[in-house]
Structure 1
Amino acid sequence: MDLQIEGKTALITGGDSGIGMETAKFLIHEGVNIVLTDKEEGQALIDAAQDVKKRSRHGAEVITMGCDISDNKEVLRLAEKVVRKFGGAHIIFHSAGARGAAGDFLELTDDDWMKTIEVDLMGAVRVARAFIPQMQKLGWGRMILVASENAFQPYDEESPYNACKAGIINLSKCLSRSYSKENILFNCISPAFIETPMTDAMMEELAKEKNSSMEEAVQWFAQNKRPHIAMQRRGKPEEVASVVAFLCSEHASYINGSNIRIDGGSVASAFG
């Protein structure tokens, strides 16, 4: 399918692996220039950009830049670089985030909460604030934020993350009401139990606790903690990225203020 976005530019945060990197591959194959970012411009980000570049068509380029989204000055520098290189970003896929502090609610401190909020909620606020003006000038925009199943089906040990992801959905809806008349559309995706570095770390920790293999830990977690996933497996990043790429396209021109669950059925409610 031709997504009809050749020649546009996409900023992808959290792009050195997982869903962000796979989305970059989909978009660059459609002729979209890619600005790939992560917290640091280390070897992982450089390697990801080289991998993405292999999928390029129609002369689409990929550049990298480290950006700590908890630092507003770094986000503003990133926005300036995108303008200098490509004239602005038409597409924003904000996939950067972290699990943050986890544990018993009464044991989590203000600092635990604020560290999670600074990345998982305020990071999205900063990126939106920096890049919406670019989309306004370009007269066309798509912004996709990453929420989570946790926004609908919260897990008691992850209260800061749960609250931030619920806030992301509300933020996206708010922005969709404010800027859609300017041809800028805002949507969310809510993945669950995807093969990403974040869930890798969770499964490695679980494997150590249970003195088991990583594969056994994944199977135990799916059966005991995510029993509604009928496939009893983690999702693949490309299974999420394909949906994101569609939301970035002209074919999604009447999808605005929506949240799409990509969770293998993990959320038990039909109406969540």
Structure 2
Amino acid sequence: MKIELNGKTALITGSTGGIGLAIGKGLAGAGATVVLNGRKQDRVDAAIADLKAALPDADVRGVAADLGTAEGCQAVVDAEPQVDILVNNVGLFGPHDFFDVPDDKWQQFFDVNIMSGVRLSRAYAPGMEANGWGRIVFMSSESGINIPADMIHYGFTKSANLSVSRGLAKRMAGTGVTVNAVLPGPTLSEGVQDMLREDQKDSGKSMEDFARDFVMEARPSSIIQRAAHVDEVANMVVYTCSEQASATTGAALRVEGGIVDTLV
């Protein structure tokens, strides 16, 4: 299967590293013009340089904006008024006990993980409909189904991503615009590595081996029995954004290594 996205413009939020940057590289490799996003200009510039180093012929640019605010989302829309592909990837995560999470942290997770995707989808979907083609992807998580006891504030936002993506897919019925959610599991992104690093160093194990042990302890139902790599998640997203995925919409596409023990 050869995926070609020549002539398409793709915006990936929260894409200065990790899964987001891997998605950017995958879409650029398929021929799309890629717009990267992060909160700080220096991180955006570094991500553009990273992508260009990997793909010298890529057409890539970036927008620095904090998508946890309505103003930040509007700044992105002002800079990029029309896109063909929107990947709502930006997100916060981190373990905290339910009784230690104050209102403002709940609100922060809601604003970044949910409302950024709502605002940008609301801004870009009408243009996609007018063109008769578009792809919107919400990055959910297996934690949206398997709500973690130590990350309830995170899990609920990922459940909301599933609800919004399914409902928006129905709203866009018959328009040529597909809306899907992708559900990664534990993935060796920079953020996850940073979360594990202190304990990993104390263990004397490599990050890969320590992450494997972490997965088997925290997610023992994993079938692949390891953490995924960012490219493995990005591959699913690139396919979801392709012409070949035209009959896939309203779906929750799992790339979590079989952690969620359900048939569908």
Instruction: Give 1:78's aligned residue.
Output: 76
Are 1:251 and 2:244 an aligned pair? yes
Instruction: Give 1:16's aligned residue.
Output: 16
Residues 195-231 of structure 1 deviation map (CA, whole Å, 9 limit, x = unaligned): 11221122125447xx324636424312211112233
Instruction: Give 2:123's aligned residue.
Output: 130
Query: Residues 122 and 49 of structure 1: is their aligned pair in 2 closer, same or farther, counting only changes over 3 Å?
Result: same
Q: Which deviates the most, 15-24 or 227-236? A: 227-236
- Is residue 4–residue 31 contact of structure 2 (8 Å, CA) maintained in 1? no
- Is residue 98–residue 198 contact of structure 1 (8 Å, CA) maintained in 2? no
Residues 47-96 of structure 1 deviation map (CA, whole Å, 9 limit, x = unaligned): 22123234558x6510011121111112112112113xxxx200011111
Distance 1:153 1:17 in 2: 25
Q: How does the TM-score come out when normalised to structure 2?
A: 0.92
Are 1:95 and 2:94 an aligned pair? no
Letter in 1 for 2:51: V
Moved over 6 A (4+): none
Letter in 2 for 1:80: D
- Is residue 28–residue 55 contact of structure 1 (8 Å, CA) maintained in 2? no
Q: How does the TM-score come out when normalised to structure 1?
A: 0.89
Q: By how many angstroms is 1:139 displaced?
A: 2.6
Distance 1:54 1:205 in 2: 30
Query: Residues 161 and 68 of structure 1: is their aligned pair in 2 closer, same or farther, counting only changes over 3 Å?
Result: same
Distance 1:219 1:29 in 2: 29
> How many percent of aligned residue pairs carry the same amino acid?
28
Query: Residues 110 and 25 of structure 1: is their aligned pair in 2 closer, same or farther, counting only changes over 3 Å?
Result: same
- Is residue 141–residue 182 contact of structure 2 (8 Å, CA) maintained in 1? yes
Instruction: Give 1:187's aligned residue.
Output: 180
Distance 2:4 2:101 in 1: 47
Letter in 2 for 1:189: V
Q: Indicate the SS of the match to 1:121.
A: helix
Matches within 5 A, 1:109-120: 109-120=102-113
Instruction: Give 1:28's aligned residue.
Output: 28
Distance 2:51 2:163 in 1: 31
Residues 156-215 of structure 1 deviation map (CA, whole Å, 9 limit, x = unaligned): 01001110100000000010011132211100100001111221122125447xx32463
Residues 109-152 of structure 1 deviation map (CA, whole Å, 9 limit, x = unaligned): 21221111111111211221222233233331100110000111
Query: Residues 140 and 49 of structure 1: is their aligned pair in 2 closer, same or farther, counting only changes over 3 Å?
Result: same
Instruction: Give 1:2's aligned residue.
Output: 2
- Is residue 212–residue 227 contact of structure 2 (8 Å, CA) maintained in 1? no
Query: Residues 207 and 51 of structure 1: is their aligned pair in 2 closer, same or farther, counting only changes over 3 Å?
Result: closer
Instruction: Give 2:203's aligned residue.
Output: 212
- Aligned-pair RMSD on alpha carbons? 1.9
Q: Which deviates the most, 216-225 or 177-186? A: 216-225
Q: Which deviates the most, 198-207 or 69-78? A: 198-207
Distance 1:48 1:207 in 2: 26
Letter in 1 for 2:153: P
Which runs of no fewer than 5 residues in structure 2 stay unpaired?
Answer: none
Instruction: Give 1:49's aligned residue.
Output: 48
Distance 1:143 1:90 in 2: 8
Residues 238-269 of structure 1 deviation map (CA, whole Å, 9 limit, x = unaligned): 11111111111110000000011101112233
Q: Indicate the SS of the match to 2:216.
A: helix
Distance 1:235 1:175 in 2: 28
Q: Which deviates the most, 169-178 or 72-81? A: 72-81
Distance 1:60 1:182 in 2: 29
